[in-house]
Amino acid sequence: GSRCVDHLVDRLPAVLQARVASKPLLSDDFLREAVVEACAMVDEEFLTWARQQEAMDGSTLLLALIYETASQPGKIRLLVANVGDSRGILCRATASPDSSGPQGLQVFRLSEDHKPNRDDERQRIEALGGTVDLHGVWRVICPEQVVFGGRTIARWGLAVSRAFGDLLLKEPYKYGCTKVLPGQLVSAEPELCLVELDPSLDRFVVLACDGIWDVLQDQDAG
């Protein structure tokens, strides 16, 4: 939903900057911590508003950060944080054997889609009592009806297993879904990928939503 997107655009940069500034130095581990903390804080901010408004808005996130660490100046790193089913790829030049011919491009995937039928995601969801089922596409589903916003919803589901917002799948047990344990069927915890960039070979990064990857392979986008 657009209100969740607007909240992320408005709040995540400032919160992330504050979390990075709170660390003793800029390192790979501290930046990872800052990203995870910022995502949790911004998600909880939106959920607080969503509880008050009974709003079901949600959003995915794909974030790319390019930086140098304090301990290794001159070494350029790329940290990609993914929440949902957007995807990032890195396109790196490959020289011909004699280094004089034309260069091709090699594609490296920087994130894995958070689909409910992914083995680890399915295990997490089902351990909490949620259901993963195929309804046109694979969805994470509340196993029984819920009451939300003054209406009864017989079967509510989402085609991604991680997202910001989506209150009903974060806290279904608060809205009549007694079969689900406390926890989040849909999580806003980002999955992180760290790579060291080579400015002489790395050409560009593509960050795109599922609408692109539903019709293109990684190599096609590169």
What does the pLDDT read at residue 76? 95
Report pTM: 0.92
Q: What is the mean pLDDT of residues 76-84?
A: 97
What does the pLDDT read at residue 160? 97
What does the pLDDT read at residue 126? 97
Q: In one letter, which amino acid is 213?
A: W
What does the pLDDT read at residue 95? 67
Instruction: Kindly report the average pLDDT of the chain as a whole number.
Output: 93
List the one residue out of 50, 51, 77, 48 whose CA is nearest residue 64.
77
155: DSSP letter: -
What does the pLDDT read at residue 213? 92
Is 216 a residue whose pLDDT tops 80? Answer: yes
Is 57 a residue whose pLDDT tops 70? Answer: yes
Q: 158 with 58: CB under 8 angstroms?
A: yes
Is 92 a residue whose pLDDT tops 80? Answer: yes
The Cα-based distances of 50 to 47, 56, 57, 154, 165 in angstroms read: 5, 7, 8, 21, 8
User: Which residue did the predictor score with more confidence, 182 or 161?
Assistant: 161
What does the pLDDT read at residue 7? 98
What does the pLDDT read at residue 150? 87
Q: What is the mean pLDDT of residues 189-208?
A: 96
Q: What is the mean pLDDT of residues 102-111?
A: 87
Is 9 a residue whose pLDDT tops 90? Answer: yes
- Percent of the chain topping pLDDT 90: 84
